[in-house]
Structure 1
């Protein structure tokens, strides 16, 4: 190892046991190396490994530890690349933004002509290096509470460091073209964009003074507060206990405690009827098995003539079908038990299992890319304060990768974010 790599990140394996280098397998390592060369042959990026560069040029990354890097790729196709970043096996070259580097990979997935990074012969062998979702991430009532808590109860203070003052943890809606230069994305524009998003949801659901509103997966209550400020009566439910406590404090600080009730409650256990049912970026945590249950619960809670609006991260239907049983880096490290649906499957499930009709109101993929860039910039800027909360350098790399990986997905069109209106087909 030369002096060039003396500052390379080394995770505390006792804290991050999943990042211990996997046992080396010469066949898997050779296969990973061959796959990497194949990917790079027409990739508009540069991968430098053992002082040799691959790719067509563009955003650049350098592999510091070739053996562990290839071993991780060969051991787990779904998580290896991201785990190698967490472990410090590779970094973007100085001056290269992490999301810009990940964008060419995401574009390969989003291309209609080429949604696979690997050659067909390698695709047929993916099962050897692809993990299935573990059974302990089942989204029954107990499992869902554990899965949600692992993310949303990490630290209210940590989220407060990079979200806007409303603590809205979902895509904002910008009034300018969100695909404009992301380098100009500013924290100052985020608060208004989040309020614009909240108002768009409330308008679509017809929420006015006196409306009875159910907010499923209420987060830190930004939407519930906004609805109450219109004069609505709101029941806001979550299964994240620390999140619920802060939501209650925020509701009190906003002066709307008389109009908003926060309950630590699973959506399956809610009773009553409401004029509007709202659920923002909640479906991704429900799990495929429970999508019919989720939409049935929404339908049962809607009063005659009521409207529901969900905001959902979605992916192309064919990619959802291809990946729904795999265990990805995001599921392993960020959202256990999660699965991103497609618009097609939302329409299919609502048509087959409910009397609801689904209508896409707007697409917000590029808005989400801009939101994520602002969050990541803010996260990095406020890292000293986050570190003081007890989070280490590997956690920082994990969240930088998560935010950049997500941004790249939205920029490429591999991911989208949609607001969907749900109404009863028969009154």
Structure 2
């Protein structure tokens, strides 16, 4: 369900303060709200945004064809943004203070060169609202299961509503057209997910007799496809919801004799393996623990073995600038996470392991299309999401999360890579 399209003031949403304390509360920060208004005017002029106020008025002159930010409760929006910056921007959407007829187009404009949204001379304003991630969300061995629970244990039925039948929650690889761009469609998403998995297994040279460790089970599709190649697989997860469904799906696929699913932190992995596969797991590890993550892979990888990772990445400078900042995504979607850069992966493996990055392959446009298909399916089935017990604040939160992520890949602010790690000079 998309938010109300009218430019008149929308009815205030009844928000449960026990579930959403910071969404239910509107900060009283008149000076900061005034600063936020001046900044919004500047962004609207420089980025070509059409900021619509109640009654159809415009904040600044803008042509009708530009991306639209529709403010239903301007003062609430400005107070939230003035108090907590982009966290307040997200919470304001959750509360229904603003919306857009094309959310991805709006966010794409904002995600382009985000470091220039605030002028250089006003960067000191960040000190007013920037927060550090709370220690309780640092992905230590003690905290990691709780962080995973907050996202992946929401409901298997929820994820089934917008994922394809493979239940694969990571970027697909679509066929490409003559222009080299992905050709994506909802009916083709399952095949595109299998293409991604097969490319990763090929990268790790998984075949008959291979001993495979998967770090991050998801709902079991990679383990099933590896087992069907004749491999024996141990796959690790911290999500009890994923564990239960992955075991059922593996049993139904007829490969339970070749796949073992363990409720186990990656740091406790044991055994020796010819191949290690890990799909979009490193983002949940957290920067302080990347050395332990790669050291674990190095420890369990047999001589001559190969590691194939799929990782969301960002430019190194942006990673460094954002690594100590608490963001809306960290607060509400992926607590304890950090998106790495390719350079950070190269540095961490070089400093802490005998592994080296042998090759990388990026395909961020494919992730943008994957997210578009998920977002369209999620919004189309909003009534079914509600029937599972998820309230309007949650539904708007996930709509923003999916659109925000899609915009990141469309601008190149984010990328996704398949990365091969090997030991130099090793043969197999």
TM-score when scaled to structure 1? 0.94
Question: C-alpha displacement at 1:191, in angstroms?
Answer: 0.6
Partner of 1:30: 34
Partner of 1:382: 381
Partner of 1:108: 113
State which drifts further: 140-149 or 383-392.
383-392
Contact 2:7 2:70 in 1 (8 A): no
Given the alignment, which residue of 40, 44, 48 partners 1:40?
Answer: 44
Alignment of 1:270-309 (within 5 A): 270-309=269-308
- Assess, with a 3 A threshold, how the Cα gap between structure 1 residues 382 and 174 changes in structure 2: closer, same or farther: same
Alignment of 1:5-404 (within 5 A): 5-7=9-11, 9-49=13-53, 51-54=57-60, 56-57=62-63, 58-92=66-100, 96-109=101-114, 115-177=115-177, 185-404=184-403
- Assess, with a 3 A threshold, how the Cα gap between structure 1 residues 337 and 7 changes in structure 2: closer, same or farther: same
Question: C-alpha displacement at 1:135, in angstroms?
Answer: 0.8
Question: C-alpha displacement at 1:187, in angstroms?
Answer: 1.2
How far apart in 2 are the matches of 1:60 and 1:343? 34
Contact 1:103 1:408 in 2 (8 A): yes
Question: C-alpha displacement at 1:295, in angstroms?
Answer: 0.4
- Assess, with a 3 A threshold, how the Cα gap between structure 1 residues 87 and 360 changes in structure 2: closer, same or farther: farther
Question: C-alpha displacement at 1:17, in angstroms?
Answer: 1.2
Partner of 2:3: none
How far apart in 2 are the matches of 1:177 and 1:41? 36
Gaps of 5+ in 2: 1-5
Partner of 1:112: none
Contact 1:11 1:86 in 2 (8 A): no
How far apart in 2 are the matches of 1:196 and 1:41? 43
- Assess, with a 3 A threshold, how the Cα gap between structure 1 residues 179 and 135 changes in structure 2: closer, same or farther: farther
Question: C-alpha displacement at 1:32, in angstroms?
Answer: 0.7
Deviation string for 1:379-399 (max 9, x for gaps)?
112222221111111111011
How far apart in 1 are the matches of 2:424 and 2:300? 15
Question: C-alpha displacement at 1:352, in angstroms?
Answer: 1.1
How far apart in 2 are the matches of 1:108 and 1:161? 33
How far apart in 2 are the matches of 1:368 and 1:250? 25
How far apart in 1 are the matches of 2:131 and 2:26? 15
How far apart in 2 are the matches of 1:350 and 1:314? 16
SS of the equivalent of 1:193 reads helix
How far apart in 2 are the matches of 1:179 and 1:158? 35
State which drifts further: 415-424 or 119-128.
119-128
Question: C-alpha displacement at 1:80, in angstroms?
Answer: 1.2
- Assess, with a 3 A threshold, how the Cα gap between structure 1 residues 44 and 52 changes in structure 2: closer, same or farther: closer
SS of the equivalent of 2:86 reads coil
Question: C-alpha displacement at 1:185, in angstroms?
Answer: 4.6
How far apart in 1 are the matches of 2:181 and 2:46? 25
Contact 2:53 2:70 in 1 (8 A): yes
Cα RMSD over matched residues? 1.9
- Assess, with a 3 A threshold, how the Cα gap between structure 1 residues 178 and 72 changes in structure 2: closer, same or farther: farther
- Assess, with a 3 A threshold, how the Cα gap between structure 1 residues 178 and 400 changes in structure 2: closer, same or farther: farther
How far apart in 1 are the matches of 2:311 and 2:369? 17
How far apart in 1 are the matches of 2:18 and 2:240? 28
SS of the equivalent of 2:325 reads coil
State which drifts further: 66-75 or 41-50.
41-50
Contact 1:287 1:338 in 2 (8 A): yes
- Assess, with a 3 A threshold, how the Cα gap between structure 1 residues 124 and 209 changes in structure 2: closer, same or farther: same
How far apart in 2 are the matches of 1:29 and 1:125? 12
How far apart in 2 are the matches of 1:179 and 1:83? 39
- Assess, with a 3 A threshold, how the Cα gap between structure 1 residues 307 and 181 changes in structure 2: closer, same or farther: closer
Gaps of 5+ in 1: 110-114
How far apart in 1 are the matches of 2:62 and 2:108? 14
Q: Which structure 1 residue ranges, 4+ long, deviate > 6 Å from structure 2? A: 178-182
